[in-house]
Amino acid sequence: MKKIFFLTIAIALFFQSCMKELGNYEYTDVNKIVIDSIKTFYTIEQYTVPNITPVISQTIEKDESNLSFFWTLETSAGLDTLCKNKSFNCELYIPPGDYYSILFVIDKKTGLYSKVRFSIRVVSAIGEGLMVLSKKSGSNEAALTYFSTSNRVIKYPSFIGTDPVNIYYVRKGASTVPLVHVMCKDNLGGIVINPTTLTKFYNFKDFFYIPLTVVNPQSYTNVWTQYKTLPSVYGSSYYSANYAEYVCNDNKVHIRYAYGANQRMDAPFLAPDDLGYFASPFIVGTYNGPSVFIYDEKNSRFLEATSITSNRLTKVKIKSTTPRVPFDPHNMGMKLKVLHADWGLSVGSNMRIYYIMKDTDNNKNYYVEVLTTNLNFAPSKIYELNIPIDSKTKFGCSVITPAFYYSDKNKIYSFDVEVKSSVLRETLPENEEITSMFVEQHVQKDPTTNKDYYDHLRLYVGVKGAAVNGNDGSIYIYKINNDNTLTLLESKKNFSGEIVSFAWKR
The DSSP-derived string for 87-143 is: SB-S---SPSEEEEEEEEEEETTT--EEEEEEEEEEE----SEEEEEEEPTTSSBEE
CA distances from 170 to 178, 230, 498 (A): 5, 20, 24
Please check whether residue 436 is in contact with residue 501, taking contact to mean a CB–CB distance below 8 angstroms. yes
| Domain ranges for the chain | 33-123
Q: Please report the pLDDT score of residue 232 as a whole number.
A: 44
Alpha carbon of residue 418 to chain centroid: 35
Q: Please report the pLDDT score of residue 485 as a whole number.
A: 96
Phi-psi region of 24 (alpha: psi -120 to 50; beta: other; left: phi over 0): beta
Alpha carbon of residue 246 to chain centroid: 16
**Residue (of 164, 170, 125, 129) closest to 143 by Cα position:** 164
Q: How far apart are CA 185 and CA 170, in angstroms?
A: 20
Q: Tell me how many degrees the CA angle 313-318-321 measures, rounded to the nearest 5.
A: 135
Q: How far apart are CA 373 and CA 231, in angstroms?
A: 16
CATH of 33-123, one of 2.60.40.10, 3.30.70.60, 3.20.20.70, 3.40.50.1860: 2.60.40.10
pTM of the model: 0.78
Side-chain-side CA neighbours of 119 within 13 Å: the count stands at 5
Q: How far apart are CA 395 and CA 475, in angstroms?
A: 15
Q: Please report the pLDDT score of residue 349 as a whole number.
A: 66
Please check whether residue 287 is in contact with residue 223, taking contact to mean a CB–CB distance below 8 angstroms. yes
Question: Residues near 330 by Cβ (< 8 Å), separated by ≥ 6?
Answer: 299, 300, 301
Q: How far apart are CA 453 and CA 446, in angstroms?
A: 8
Written as tens digits, the pLDDT of the chain (506 aa) is: 333 333 333 434 343 444 444 555 566 789 999 999 999 999 998 888 999 999 999 999 999 999 999 999 998 888 999 999 999 999 888 888 889 999 999 999 999 999 999 999 888 777 778 999 999 988 999 999 999 877 889 899 899 999 999 999 987 766 677 889 999 999 999 999 988 888 899 999 999 988 999 999 999 998 766 555 555 444 344 444 566 789 999 999 998 876 554 577 888 999 999 999 999 999 998 765 567 889 999 998 889 887 777 789 988 877 655 555 556 666 666 788 999 999 888 776 678 899 999 999 889 999 999 888 765 777 878 899 999 999 999 999 998 889 999 999 999 999 999 999 999 999 999 999 999 999 986 654 444 554 555 567 899 999 999 999 999 999 999 999 989 999 999 999 999 999 999 998 87
Residue 78: exposed, middle, or buried by beta-carbon count in 10 A (0-12, 13-18, 19+)? exposed
Q: How far apart are CA 474 and CA 493, in angstroms?
A: 4
Q: Please report the pLDDT score of residue 9 as a whole number.
A: 34
Q: Please report the pLDDT score of residue 2 as a whole number.
A: 35
Alpha carbon of residue 451 to chain centroid: 29
**What is the residue type of 83?**
C
Q: Please report the pLDDT score of residue 18 as a whole number.
A: 47
The dihedral built from the CA positions of residue 166, 337, 400 and 424, taken in this order, carries a sign that is: positive
Please check whether residue 118 is in contact with residue 41, taking contact to mean a CB–CB distance below 8 angstroms. yes
Give the chain's count of helices (H) and strands (E): 3, 34
**Residue (of 93, 98, 154) closest to 126 by Cα position:** 154
